Amino acid sequence: MQSDNQTTTLIRQVNSNMNNTTNMNRSIFLLTAFIISFGVMSCSKKDSAAPVLILATNTGFGTYTGEILKAEGYNEFKMDSLSDAKISLKYLRKFDLIILTESSLIPAQKLMFTTFVKGGGNLIAFKPDKKLSEVFGIIYEGGSFRNAYLSVNANSDIGNGITTETIQLHVDADKFKLNGGMDLADFFLDATNTSGLPGLVFNNYGKGHTIAVLYNLPENIVYTRQGNCQYAGQEKDGINGLRPMDLFTDGWVDTSKSTINQADEQMVLLSHCIEKMNTYTSPLPHLWYFPDTLKCLVTLTNDGESRSDIDFEPQFRDIDSMGAKMSIYILDINKVSKEWVDKWTAKGHEIAGHPDDVKEAGNPDWNNMNNAIRMKKNEIAGKYGLPMRTNVNHWFVWCGRNADGKPDFAAEARLEEKNGIELDINYAQYDLKSNQAEHFLGPPGTNQGNFTGSGLLMKFADARGKIINVYQHLNAVYDQEYNESHDPEGFYNCFRGLMDRSLHSEVYSFISVKSHNDEYYFSRIPLMKMLAYASKNGVPVWTALKLLDFIKMRDEATFTDISWSDNRLSFNLNSSLKHSNGLTFMVPFKYRDKRITGVTRNGKDATFIIRSVKGSDYAFITVEPGANYSILVTYGK
């Protein structure tokens, strides 16, 4: 409880900053100080549902922080607006950790956060307001970096397990010097030359702890994954038709970093920051990326174009014989019978439509693209009785303008959301015969990576950071790229490289393979080698639809009632969506000077495995989704 003297001190702090203000403003700030003080004096009960609070505004990509935490499996967070009237010191103290997204603070908010940390609170901020420099142990030097890189200190606990290579940034980064804080990562002027200035800083302040990420991390994740929003609606690569790949031109992709999932590494960095803060409160569970305890997963898709079910039959038989499943996107439903569709969907394959707006590929119109998607969805439902929840457009045509005709790099995703599409696979590795540098999306073959910097599925965001309820799934292994290069071995080696890095080097990827029926004469042999290699390594090959259902199930699961007492961590895992594969959560195997000695699930002993992930050991526990579980984890020496 705060003493009367401390309350008076708070008010005096406000008064000392108000010498040049009007009496009315003085009264407002005194009232604010009283409210803050009341929050300090009141005993706050911890939020049982969410130990982590994200404070965001309607702009600046702050709300996308929630998508990052979901991708990293931290589903025990709450999202609030910084401008909400309930945000007070008393409210902040309900949470173990506050994540403050890029925001401009008024003096009263500065006082609130300063008091929160000084009293023992934990705060992570993205591109923090310069008013909080003292709290973060930094001092503003002036100016900002453009097109900087980030190098994580591998010797720190936060940097352990993260790439030692520099990571490309696509957002401005502020120039600060250390002023008592600890440097955890540095900004580089380019891929090789350091700036000598910090990019990530840890600080002890009063009884609390802070981490400053000196750039807008969620904004950078969106731009790395989705491309340059300034290129929306523009033909940039010289390849016929507007496609998502036009957004990655003019050096947007540093192709020397192809085998690094640069966006994912930054999300792991945030996870490590969260775990660092957890050492002052309690360990937290989070969900594993993949089904069960897998380290990789493959989806296989097929653009059926104008072929018939007779043409598709041999390919489906081949794939089914390997224990794999495939999604096929049909262009002409008149050539594909319902009987054939019923046969293969009953075996677990996916049949969906292939929207066609190729006639205006160079400048797709919002209304016409909307009609193309809607028509194809209605055709699939009308003839086959099937929903169309995943999508690949003919030629990967990507609408780059909204309903008002204004550039919008996420316009196509908005159209898909409007039409009930939940997963998009229009981002594909194809960069042949362009006006750009050779292979501007990255090298082919074994060293081909994910040009979006990510192997994970996450939802799209628009240019203001508003989330669109459509998942982005990169088609990394694209047959046409290698067919036109006459390189079947490269097609296979691309796949094998992605899988090997996911299995053995922690460059985790959901790998999407495209095998056109038109080009099966080329892709059959390397594709059969891929399926055999996946089977040998215990990696399943799914339809896009089955993956969508898994990701939705994983995102929906939540941790609640988290409690830490007497070296025991208890919580509930709540899941209402079912899936044929298991849902796995992770708990730090070691916490402070203790390690896990036992886990119970609904009062009974639960089996777990120990696995090292990105430099730390975790206990992996797998449950059947679609149920609620009470978990107790006991730590001892």
141-181 pLDDT, tens per residue?
999 999 999 999 988 999 999 999 999 999 999 999 999 99
Give the residue from 583, 69, 490 showing the smallest Cα distance to 294: 583
Q: Which residue has the higher pLDDT, 380 or 306?
A: 380
Q: What is the CATH number of domain 557-636?
A: 2.60.40.1180
Return the structure tokens found at 382.
Answer: 């009308």
CATH label, 297-552, candidates 3.30.499.10, 3.20.20.370, 3.40.1350.10, 3.30.1540.10: 3.20.20.370
Element holding 535 (H helix, E strand): helix 520-536
**Which pLDDT band, with edges at 50, 70 and 90, does 584 fall under?**
very high
Distance CA 93, CA 230 (A): 40
Give the residue from 537, 451, 88, 51 showing the smallest Cα distance to 260: 451
DSSP labels for 57-109?
Answer: -SSTTTTHHHHHHHHTT---EEEEETT-TT-SHHHHTT-SEEEE-S-PPPHHH
Distance CA 562, CA 565 (A): 10
Count of all residues that appear for the chain in the document: 637
Return the structure tokens found at 397.
Answer: 């045509």
Could you please state the CATH topology (level 3) that the domain comprising 45-223+249-278 is classified under. Answer: Rossmann fold (3.40.50)
Check residue 47 and give its pLDDT.
Answer: 62
Check residue 438 and give its pLDDT.
Answer: 93
Question: Which residues, 6+ apart, have CB-to-CB distance to 333 below 8 Å?
Answer: 353, 379, 380, 383, 384
CB-based contact 366:360 (threshold 8 Å): no
Using CB atoms within 10 A of its CB, is residue 266 exposed (0-12), middle (13-18) or buried (19+)?
buried
pLDDT at 626 exceeding the cut of 90: yes
For residue 99, list its beta bridge partners: 54, 124
CB atoms within 10 A of CB 32: 20
Give the residue from 60, 544, 406, 454 showing the smallest Cα distance to 248: 454
**Domains in the chain: boundaries:** 1-43, 45-223+249-278, 297-552, 557-636
- The model's pTM is 0.93
The number of angstroms, rounded, from the C-alpha of 626 to the middle of its chain's C-alpha atoms is 23
Q: 89-132: per-residue pLDDT in tens?
A: 999 999 999 999 999 999 999 999 999 999 999 999 999 999 99
Sign of CA dihedral 358, 360, 362, 368: negative
The mean pLDDT value of the chain amounts to 93
Phi and psi torsions of 516, nearest 5°:
-60, 140
Check residue 34 and give its pLDDT.
Answer: 42
Helix (H, G, I), strand (E, B) or coil at 159: coil
> 60-82 as b/e, with b when 16 or more CB fall inside 10 Å?
bbbbbbbbbbbbbbbbbbebbbb
Check residue 637 and give its pLDDT.
Answer: 86
Beta strands in 271-400 (DSSP E): 286-287, 297-305, 327-330, 350-353, 390-391
Check residue 19 and give its pLDDT.
Answer: 40
